[in-house]
Amino acid sequence: MDRLAGQIGASHGRLHPATEPFDRRMVDVGDGHSLYVEQCGNPDGRPVLVLHGGPGGGCSPFMRRFFDPDHYRVVLFDQRGCGRSRPTAEVEANTTAHLIRDIESLRALIGLDDWLLFGGSWGATLALAYAQAHPARVTGLILRGVFLGRRAELDWFYGGGAGRFFPDLWARFQEPIPEPERGDMIAAYHRRLFSDDRGRQGRFALPWLMWENALAGLQSAPVSHAPADYARAFARLENHYFMNGCFLEEGQLLRDRHRIEHLPAVIVQGRYDMVCPPASAWELAEGWNRCELRFVPASGHALSEPRISAELVRVTDEIRERDRAGLLAAEQIRGGDRAAR
């Protein structure tokens, strides 16, 4: 979940200055897929990996601005089939296991021992899945709008739960689907998004995208259009993952939380998130002693909501200050040792 960030109107004054990448490349990860990867900030800084939402959303320059470029080495990539990765909208060899493998390959390729993970919505799902698979490669997690890939969460959004709050928009989402098929909207859209007619795929991609976008921001206005290639990739990839339970066992991310409970984590969660309701963030954080859950008032789901953006920047700045304090303390200890000798 979570479409391309930065289009709902954040208060950009709370963000760090825009920077250009010092490294851009296409990386062949096999199976016919090539990923767009970029790095920005300080090449010698604290490594952080940004995991975008969707599945299918892709990264944007907006996402670079949550990090002090003097302190962080920020790695961003477009997951298989979306953004600038190729081929566009491809679902073959595109599962959660493939994405975890891609992340680990990228880490080794750019020569990092470990990194901080930053992800929201589906990006939070993927961050948790990767961290649980490779806990030794993760220094901590910053999560936003938690989505755990469970059936109940999908039923909430595509089974009418959220529609009780937005009956007009839910009716618009249902309208293209014949009434007998409306009992399973994910399957109904799947039949159309994966038809042999590319034009038909495009016609059903936009309402899929519009439904999610309309609920993402607490005060956002529904969109009536989007670039055709983007809408098609987003809708096909997201539908593909949701048809397959996100390629996770039911409840897996909560079941395997013990693998990462030694890691520090911060969750930034909109109090009125209608895409990924706060109950999932609460369940994830409860009993995790090193996890801090921060509810953000008067906010929904989107990364670009002003209060959400501001809180995420606050988190990354707090980590920066702790890093600096740790370096200063280490230098003072070294200085004392030299003086003692």
Active-site residue list: 121, 273, 301
Selection from 216, 221, 151 nearest residue 186 by Cα? 151
Q: Which amino acid is at 261?
A: E
Contact 32, 13 (CB under 8 A): no
Q: CA torsion sign, 329 to 333 to 338 to 340?
A: positive
49: number of Cβ within 10 Å: 25
CA distance 148 to 127: 11
Q: Supply angle C-alpha 212, 215, 221, rounded to 5.
A: 105
Selection from 238, 243, 268 nearest residue 58 by Cα? 238
CA distance 202 to 243: 18
Locate 270 and state its tokens: 């909109």
Contact 82, 238 (CB under 8 A): no
CA distance 219 to 224: 16
CA distance 85 to 77: 8
Strands 291-296 and 138-144: unpaired
